[in-house]
Structure 1
Amino acid sequence: MSNLFSGINARFRGQRSPNSPGPEQQHAQSPVPPPEIQTPTSTTTSVKLPPLPTSPSLAETIGMDQSSGMIPTADEVLTSYHLPPVKPLWLNCNYAKHIVKGNFLTLSAKPKTVEMGEWVAHQVVDHWRMLVTFIRLVHDKEEDGTSICNSRRCPKMSAGANHSFTWLNSRLQPVEIPAYEYLTLVQRYISGKIDDNNIFPCDPSGVSYADNPAFCTPLPESGQEWIGKRSGFPQNFMETCQTIFRQMFRVYAHLYWSHFDDLFALNLEKSMNSCFSHFILTATTLNLLKKADLEPMQPLIDLWAALGTFPQGSKAFEVANLAVGQLLVQKAGGPPQS
């Protein structure tokens, strides 16, 4: 994936297709958040995030009908997703292709000799590096002061009509804010966490290695253990990484639902598909996202499972509904053309 974005920057400000929706007008200054929104003043400021919803996930509630004992058909499950009458372009398997071929699971599985905390930290930084490229594409302003994602075009941080995401204000109340402001806060929050040496220590002398019973005797555990302890990561390190991955997923969901046509006009849809499928495999393999978190993009996960993007036996394949994915392939007229 190291060469994934080679040449992309040259196309970032390229000419969009005449038929693709262009950015709407916006003032040249950055939008001022509502008074109740607590905006960090530096990249190291910790931003409190909204709590997870307590309602059951759509993906978790779709299963055997308790009253009749019948398993719903693929059509019934697809209907329960409440997709718009005109399906998003990315649900057509011909537009769900990747720029690279191979098994992304090999990039997500931890090597035996790498300590788990080090591996999780590497994945967080690597996936953020890839995602921030797409964020800047829709978030940065052009010379005329406009941006693709703006408060008029995206008045709230949403992923289709069925999902929207809130931010906590200074009174710890969840409030809806424009997607542009949400992306600003997400960048400050994640960058602040990654740059904090107390959360992501960078001292090479603190790097540890996983015990390999085939070559050495495991060190005895002392006191309370947690992932990353041996490499100097704090006790709440995994919780922090899960929050970061949850925020990154929300950004991906917004990009797919609101800006996929923009990326398609710049010939970048395959690049984002490659990054996102890798992201889902990593998140599920390392337990950085729960099944409920994936709900806004469940149809695409189903589709990729049917297309073989997620290998059988992977956790990403397990959370997918293969029958729904096969139905989506059928509705698109068969597998994508090579």
Structure 2
Amino acid sequence: MLIRFLTTGHAVSDDWWYPTMWLMRDDLVRCFMDLMLKFEFIYPYVMLCRLVEVLHYVKWLAWSITRHHLRHLHLLNARFRGTSSKSSGGQTKSPTSSTSGAPSPVPTSHSQGSQSSINLSAKLPPLPNSPSLAQTIGMDESSGAMSSGADILASYHLPSPLPMWLNPNYAKHIVKGNFMTLSARPKTVEQGEWIAHHVVEHYRNLWNFVRVLHEKEDDGTSICNASTCPRMSAGANHSFTWLNSRREPVELPAMEYMTLMQRWISGKIDDTKIFPTEASGVSFAHNPSITTTPLSQLTSQTEREWVGKRSGFPENFVDVCQTIFRQMFRVYAHLYWAHFVEPFYHLNLEKQLNSCFSHFVLTATALDMLKPHELEPLQPLIDLWAANGTFPQGSKAYEYANLRAGELLLQLGGAS
């Protein structure tokens, strides 16, 4: 297999590992070539160092290929149960799943018992925002009735024992650093362009995890199916419904809900009226260091302004993006509550899931795509990450967290 990889680069199946594997192959070939060219006139000490370097490459490469094949045999070679078709113009579409014959409802949520949500595509007045559960519990500081961390955790109605993803030892990430640097908008990038960029990128990241659940087992069923997940839920306290073609809230199996969600989001992203792709649109932000003309004088005083207008985005662009972020959050919530152990922990993918989700929360809150009360299904995890420093002070994710609950979770996990 090693010789085949050195000569062709096809020792493993095609997937997201290819760029890394090609770079490893080039480095290894260069190392062998240097060794062969200098064989006759290199001092033995240098030769020994080269040989050790080659052995380290071979050892690491063999480990990587073996680890990759183990994942390949289980889930990571999964294919969607339906892929996107190519458009007539050859434009690459976002990933879609084929559910022919299914209605095309608008995604909504149904959480906390009988509370139903509004049709997000209709022009209805928005519901008043309520503070998050964590904020409601911890806001009464002036009255002296501060809740303890134990009281806050008890109010979350968490199961006993606590889920694995609330253990600090399993809430780690694959990288260290400040995710805020990835969420901060560059000064010269227009706000609408920045939001659109994050919608697409976070959707692709999320779908890489959902596709793992699509893989079928030996009995022909997927990990997430109508038997294991008969409804789209995030623990015992939160469930989500879908509006059918008659705008009636209906409960669906989690996999069917996620499939409809994925098809709905990809349809929005591929709609050039919502996400325009024409290069003629203005895609830069007003920068005072470049021009001295005030922004108010660049447009007519009578024209209506909205986020993304300068780049050609429609007036309802922010509303659509907020809906997309809400739906993606609900999928993340289901992944954590129902599938963190199987399959992600068993595949050593829990750190990748944590990294993508923490980046997602920082971005969504910084861009006002998610409100505090919409974070409740995963509020304990947000508290934990605020307490251990994953969410930096000054970020909205840190502001929405309850540090007393997070510090208690750290103590329970032996991390403080």
TM-score norm. by structure 1 comes to 0.85
Answer with 1 or 2: which has the greater Rg: 2
Tell me by how many angstroms 1:271 deviates. 0.2
Q: Is the 8 A contact 1:46 1:193 kept in 2?
A: no
Distance in 2 between residues matched to 1:87 and 1:214, nearest whole Å:
52
Residue deviations 1:39-78, cap 9 Å, x none? 97599x6735342587954234323459975111111111
Q: Render the CA deviation track for 1:268-327: whole Å, top value 9, x for unaligned.
A: 000000000000000010000000110000000000011100001111100011111111
Task: Kindly indicate whether residue 306 of structure 2 is the aligned counterpart of residue 306 of structure 1.
Answer: no
In the superposition, relative to structure 1, how do residues 11 and 58 fare at CA in structure 2: closer, same or farther (>3 Å)?
A: farther
Q: Which stretch of the first structure deviates more once superposed, 54-63 or 214-223?
A: 54-63
Tell me if 1:221 matches 2:299.
Answer: yes
Q: Tell me the distance in 1 between the aligned counterparts of 2:203 and 2:139.
A: 37
Q: What corresponds to 1:141 in structure 2? A: 216
Out of 365, 368, 376, the residue aligned to residue 295 of structure 1 is 376
Aligned-partner Cα distance in 1 for 2:387–2:286: 37
Report deviation, 1:256. 0.3
Residue 139 of structure 1 contacts residue 183 of structure 1 at CA under 8 Å; is this kept in 2?
Answer: no
User: How far off is 1:208 after superposition?
Assistant: 1.9
Please, which runs of 5 or more residues in structure 1 have no aligned partner? 17-28, 31-38
Shift of 1:232: 0.6
Q: Secondary structure at the match of 2:178?
A: coil
Higher relative contact order (CA 8 A, sep 6+): 1
The correspondence for 2:189, drawn from 93, 114, 135, is: 114
Q: Which has the larger helix fraction?
A: 2
* Residues 187-227 of structure 1: per-residue CA shift (max 9 Å, x gap): 10111000110100111121421011112124423300000
Residue 103 of structure 1 contacts residue 311 of structure 1 at CA under 8 Å; is this kept in 2?
A: yes
Question: Could you tell me which of 250, 265, 269 is aligned with 1:175?
Answer: 250
1:96-245 aligned at under 5 Å gives the runs 96-142=171-217, 144-216=219-291, 217-219=293-295, 220-222=298-300, 223-245=303-325
Matched, 1:89 2:170: no
SS at match of 1:214: coil
2:145 maps to 70
Q: Are the equivalent residues in 2 in contact too, given 1:281–1:315 (CA < 8 A)?
A: yes
User: Which residue of 1 is the match for residue 30 of structure 2?
Assistant: none
After superposition, the Cα gap between the structure-2 partners of 1:113 and 1:266, relative to the gap in structure 1 and judged at 3 Å, is same
Q: What corresponds to 1:265 in structure 2?
A: 346
Partner of 1:251: 331
Task: Select the residue among 87, 100, 108 that pairs with 1:49.
Answer: 108
Identity of aligned residues (%): 62
Task: Give the aligned partner of residue 22 of structure 1.
Answer: none
Structure 1 counterpart of 2:267, one-letter code: G
Tell me which amino acid in the other structure corresponds to 1:221: T
CA–CA distance in structure 2, aligned partners of residues 314 and 86 of structure 1: 30
Q: RMSD of aligned C-alpha atoms?
A: 2.7
SS at match of 2:280: helix
- Once residues 339 and 217 of structure 2 are traced to their aligned partners in structure 1, the CA distance between those partners, rounded to angstroms, is 16
The two structures have a TM-score, normalised by structure 2, of 0.69
SS of residue paired to 1:204: coil
Cα distance, 1:141 vs. partner? 3.0
Residues 206 and 140 from structure 1, CA distance in 2 versus in 1: closer, same or farther, beyond 3 angstroms? farther
CA distance in 1, matches of 2:400, 2:288: 32
Q: Is the 8 A contact 2:202 2:360 kept in 1?
A: yes
Q: Contact conserved, 2:165 with 2:340, CA < 8 A, in 1?
A: yes
User: Is the Cα–Cα contact under 8 Å of residues 192 and 311 in structure 2 kept in the other structure?
Assistant: yes
Distance 1:55 1:315, change over 3 A: closer
In the alignment, the residues of structure 1 paired with residue 285 and residue 199 of structure 2 have an alpha-carbon distance, to the nearest angstrom, of: 19
How many residues in Structure 1 have an aligned counterpart in Structure 2?
311
1:59-105 Cα distance to aligned partner (Å, 9 max, x none): 34323459975111111111100000110001000000000111100
Q: 2:138 is paired with a residue of what secondary structure?
A: coil
CA contact 1:42–1:188 (8 Å) conserved in 2: no
1:151-176 CA-to-partner distances (Å, cap 9, x unmatched) read: 00001000011111110122212111
1:55/1:239 CA distance change after superposition, 3 Å: closer
